[in-house]
Amino acid sequence: MTGKDRAKSVLFVCIENSSRSVMAEGFAKEMGLNASSAGTFPSTHVNSLVVDAMKEVGIDVSQSRPKELTGDMIDSADAVTLTDASLEKAIPGTLRKRMKKKAVEWYLPDPQGKDIEEIRDIRDETRKMVERLARGSVD
């Protein structure tokens, strides 16, 4: 995606919608993108260490609430970013078909069970990937 092809709205998807996708959504909104996030098996809450790590860079995700991925979310997004390529296997076939031409796969480690130092590293890598997306590069 470059120039005119740049995503107008992007949906970030992870498993629990409690860490990676929440960070990506926060960075994307900070960069002026129309962003949302969802999970295949949403948690009941956002990872508190992710909230702390994002606060350190001036982004408040404390009001984020995990949401379940739906077909309507996919249909309304110009791009769907999977925070981990292996996640595609966890997405029901009907939803995979709907996202086929708009899916971008990333390889971000799962912050679940990690300490704050490791989450900061994942946060920083997430920021770099969102910056590339905002510039129109999906690699």
DSSP string, 73-84: HHHH-SEEEESB
Domain that holds residue 102: 3-131
Please answer whether residues 77 and 10 qualify as being in contact, where contact means their C-beta atoms are separated by less than 8 angstroms.
Answer: yes
Please name the residue that has the structure tokens 């508190």: 48
* Within-domain flag for 138: no
pTM: 0.90
Query: Considering its fold, how many domains does the chain have in total?
Result: 1
Structure tokens at 73: 């979310």
Asked if residue 1 lies in contact with residue 33, where contact means CB atoms within 8 angstroms, the answer is: no
Point out the least confidently predicted range of 13-17, 51-55, 101-105, 113-117: 101-105
What is the per-residue burial (b if ≥16 Cβ within 10 Å, else e) of 33-53?
bebbbbbbebbeebbebbbeb
The tens digit of pLDDT for each residue in 76-122 reads: 999 999 998 888 788 888 898 998 889 999 999 999 999 999 999 99
**Crossing angle, helix 48-56 and helix 116-135, to 10 degrees?**
60
Strand partners, 84: 107
Q: Is residue 93 part of a domain?
A: yes
pLDDT at 35 exceeding the cut of 60? yes
Confidence of residue 53 (pLDDT cuts 50, 70, 90): very high
CATH number at residue 101: 3.40.50.2300
**Residue 57, domain member (yes or no):** yes
